[in-house]
Amino acid sequence: MEHNLSVGLDIGTTKIVAMIGRKNEYGKVEILGIGKSKSLGVHRGVVNNITQTIQSIQQAVQEAEVAADMKIDEVTVGIAGQHIRSLQHSDYITRSNSETVIDEDDIDRLINQVHKLVMLPGEEIIHVLPQEYKVDGQAEIKEPIGMYGGRLEANFHVVVGQVSSIRNIGRCVQSSGLNLEGITLEPLASANAVLSQEEKEAGVALIDIGGGTTDLAIFRDGIIRHTAVIPFGGNVITEDIKEGCSIIEKQAELLKIKFGSAWPGENKDNEIVSIPGLRGREPKEITLKNLSKIIHARVVEIVEQVYVEIKNYGHEEQKKKLIAGIVLTGGGSQLKHLKQLVEYITGMDTRIGYPNEHLAGDSDDDITSPLFATAVGLVLDGLKRQERKKIEQQDEQVVDDETHVEEEIREKPIKERRSFLDKLTERVKDFLDNAE
């Protein structure tokens, strides 16, 4: 595939989206094609039926290929699901020689030490994100490289997930005839698509309400501080409507989208929707007030769980306050009056996040819908990865051409660019190649 092109594959609980994008000359991203299929075989973000998931992926990819009139061979995939959890951890290393400055090797050593943490069976560390460093007890250091010191400490945000779930996703992608270009944590992908740099600096919580899960990512001072996946999403709301009104799922979903509201006070008692009965049965009449009461109860539960996570991060401390408040995205964020309800429960400023932060100005309204936040984020991630590869290749060429002194200067940046997800992607690829 050509260099400035990338494909994001968002394997969700309700839908699978394949999105092809490329960078234009202004550094913005143009979406060339998009394919969407109903996701069968994924439950709460976790693959539970490989065959059905492969079919859904192929369908979405074909649709995108037709729309963009090109062939897809590599994709960047997002991982989420109820098995993702995160923890805070601090660790330190003692340097043998405090007369030399701290370099990338020291930071790598420190990070590798965190990777040795003992996890529950079947779990593996996906992401180790350094928060801030301490050098010889001096706190709040953002970038310790180049400083002198004997003891290097850091607080880490560690994201943990189940290896088998990640491998299953890799398996589905490979069996669909695609190569795995990269793996990204979905809350991070959505955040890249909808948040501005100012918001990340000021402190913001991104809530991505999907079909099966609600993802949370908290940023402050430009650094990711907390992530969580809550195993509820739009689907449980539909389930509740289905049970509460005794109707089939398809009707419940339509009711939610067309007439649903998260705020029961809105509707008058006499507003009624009539739903055709099944096969010759009488039609059912449902009051909109009842409908929004059902939705309200479940949405409050989801928002409260998210708020507990925001409080766990420490939002109530003055130093950790999230000034930019909350940004809602994902398909579930399109529910009427949700913004007001979230503001009411949390007391934080709230806006709906559209993934147009990095998109070209003439993008379709369909594409800039919160539904596609994760897919747009994955496309951006793929493009970033390609740029890194390009720089590495150029650096290697320069190293070949120039003298040894230059070589040392040049080699430094290459190391830092490999993120854990690149390593994870390689591990998943190796595992799949050996498992065949």
Nearest to 213 by CA among 239, 251, 187, 248: 187
Give the pLDDT confidence score for residue 420 in this predicted structure. Answer: 67
pLDDT tens digits, one per residue of 100-154: 999 989 999 999 999 888 888 989 888 888 889 999 999 889 899 999 999 999 9
- Pair of tokens at residue 341: 């309800």
- Residue 419 confidence (pLDDT): 66
pLDDT of residue 3: 65
Structure tokens at 203: 């402190």
Domain-located, residue 376: no
* pLDDT under 70: residue ranges of the chain: 1-3, 399-420, 436
pLDDT of residue 404: 52
Determine, yes or no, domain membership for 239: yes
Q: What is the domain count for the chain? A: 1
Whether 155 is in a domain gets the answer: no
We report the CATH number of the domain holding residue 264 as: 3.30.420.40
pLDDT one-digit tens code per residue, 233-250: 999 999 999 999 999 999
- Residue 279: both structure tokens together: 């096969």
Q: Does some domain include residue 270?
A: yes
pLDDT of residue 1: 59
Pairing of the two strands 74-79 and 179-185: parallel
Quick: pLDDT tens for 270-298: 889 998 888 888 899 999 999 999 999 99
Q: Residue 133 has what pLDDT?
A: 94
Neighbour tally for 351: CB within 10 Å: 18
- Give residue 129's pLDDT: 86
Residue with tokens 């995939």: 77
Domain annotation covers residue 110:
no
Both tokens assigned to 17: 């989206």
Residue 50 in domain:
no
245: containing domain: 234-298
Residue 298 host element (H or E)? helix 288-313
Question: By the 8 A CB rule, do 143 and 407 touch?
Answer: no
Q: Within a domain: residue 40?
A: no
pLDDT, residue 402, reads: 60
CA-to-CA distance for 183 and 180, rounded, in angstroms? 8
pTM score, two decimals? 0.88
- Cα gap 202→370, rounded to integer Å: 22
Position 133 in a domain: no
